[in-house]
Structure 1
Amino acid sequence: MRLSAPVYHLKRKARLLSRQQNIPLHAALDRIAASEGFEGWSLLSARANTDVSVSELYSRLKPGDLVLVGARPGHGKTLMSLRLAVEAMKLGNRGVFFTLEDTETVVRNRFRMIDADHAEFAALFAFDNSDAISADYIIAKLAMAPSGTLAVVDYLQLLDQKREKPELMAQVQTLKAFARDRGAIIVFISQIDRSYDPALKPVPDPEDVRLPNPLDLKLFDKMFFLHDGQVQIRAAS
């Protein structure tokens, strides 16, 4: 479905509507999405991002890669990560979704949002939302995973939220070594700092990754940054 204007124009229109009618921005965004024929803004954003060839992005990945997918809320980072898992499964590889945020129902609904059939990939897809998710937990769950398995971690900044878990840097280093050893691809969904200003640059970059705790971003082999339907690809190391 072709949009009547670029996503950033539609978002500007929603901000104006929010001010004029004194309604929350998310409600204004949903109204604009409805006027474009979509059920909600998240679905519009997801479809807008299909202009980027996910198969091309996936083709840039190789077994052993650590990948960061970063965006502000509502700009498609979770959907992009799930698309990458679907691309892996289309080729017969396993896809695993580790999340400290969502329920299985929410993730299954996201398959519909990206025009994928969860049932088609049921034999290859695994969902895990244990509170115990950490580097050691992920490694234990993927211990027998074949090369080419793509695991999504939702999301990076929550891995060391509990004090009893190792610091973030140590966990990412551990997962990097594991990915290289097993030939897995691990995709980390990442928050972008609120200080990011799209008026200064259209898409975030590594400087905008929210890091409440120290982390060397050179540990990531690839980075994909999203904003308003645009994707920027960075080779991190």
Structure 2
Amino acid sequence: MKLSAPIYHLKRKAKRLSREDGIPLHDALDRIAATEGFSAWSLLAAKAAAMTPAGKLFPHFQPGDLVLVGARPGQGKTLMSLELAVEAMRAGHHAAFFSLEYTEKDVVDRFRAIGADPAQFRELFEVDCSDAISADYVVKQMAVAPRGTVVVIDFLQLLDQRRENPDLTVQVRALKSFARDKGLIVVFISQIDRSYDPSTKPCPDLSDVRLPNPLDLNLFDKTCFLNKDEVQFRAAS
């Protein structure tokens, strides 16, 4: 069953209904759910989560996995990665988002764009936008992270932009070893080369990953590439 609008629009509608009719928000949410064919908001929310690409992909991930999420700008790679973090937290796991591009406010705004309430996950979610982000930095910050934590790194190509940081391959190998030792899932957001031509194939693949510096892409256990409404997931053979 397809919803009439994204879940975050439905939440706004429920909040407006709550104010206008003077009813508790949970009652307003249930009323909105009823208009969508669900007996309760909790059932609608569960269905909406299962319908997202992240909801379908997350069960394929295992502790220790190194995952690459790649797309050209504006195709939803950051939102997909945040949705994967939300899926982890809904399952009771922790998540962390390390960004060399966004501010904490940017990340919170993107949370809301996928219909998630950051306050709901306050105890489970960590955002770090330090300029010092590198493999060593992430390892230090995640030293006591519990097994199953999803760590998103935004983005791959910026990890070695500082001259004092090790080569990209060295950093990715270090994070792969760390993920396996700690049982974490590390998700790298990746740029795609401008030479990628969507008219020749529906989604980019590993050959289209932008690599200003050398990197063995076989280090990744899972890949997810996006273009428009197309999502292609692959696991290493």
| TM band (smaller chain) | 0.7 to 0.9
In structure 2, C-alpha distance between the alignment counterparts of 1:159 and 1:119, rounded to whole Å:
29
Look up the match of 2:181. 181
CA RMSD between the two structures? 1.6
Look up the match of 2:168. 168
Conserved in 2, the CA contact under 8 Å of 1:88 and 1:150? Answer: yes
The alignment of Structure 1 onto Structure 2 pairs a total of residues equal to: 192
In structure 2, C-alpha distance between the alignment counterparts of 1:54 and 1:152, rounded to whole Å:
14
Look up the match of 1:28. none
The code of the aligned residue for 1:94 comes to H
Please tell me whether residue 78 in structure 1 is matched to residue 101 in structure 2: no
Q: How do 1:54-73 residues align onto structure 2 when only pairs under 5 Å count?
A: 54-73=54-73
CA deviation vs aligned residue, 1:157-212 (integer Å, no higher than 9, x gap) = 00001111000000000000000000000000000000000011111011000011
Look up the match of 1:124. 124
Unaligned runs of 5+ in 2: 6-49
Unaligned runs of 5+ in 1: 4-49
Kindly report structure 1 stretches of 4+ aligned residues shifted beyond 2 Å.
50-53
CA deviation vs aligned residue, 1:89-114 (integer Å, no higher than 9, x gap) = 00111110000000111100111110
Conserved in 2, the CA contact under 8 Å of 1:83 and 1:114? Answer: yes
The code of the aligned residue for 2:102 comes to D
Offset, 1:51: 5.7
The code of the aligned residue for 1:180 comes to R
* Percent identity between the two aligned chains: 62
Larger Rg: 2
Look up the match of 1:157. 157
3-state secondary structure, aligned to 1:69: strand
Q: How do 1:30-49 residues align onto structure 2 when only pairs under 5 Å count?
A: none
The code of the aligned residue for 2:153 comes to V
In structure 2, C-alpha distance between the alignment counterparts of 1:131 and 1:121, rounded to whole Å:
24
In structure 1, C-alpha distance between the alignment counterparts of 2:236 and 2:213, rounded to whole Å:
19
In structure 1, C-alpha distance between the alignment counterparts of 2:159 and 2:92, rounded to whole Å:
28
TM-score (structure 2 length as normaliser) = 0.78
Offset, 1:56: 1.5
3-state secondary structure, aligned to 2:166: coil
Offset, 1:67: 0.2
TM-score (structure 1 length as normaliser) = 0.78
In structure 2, C-alpha distance between the alignment counterparts of 1:148 and 1:52, rounded to whole Å:
21
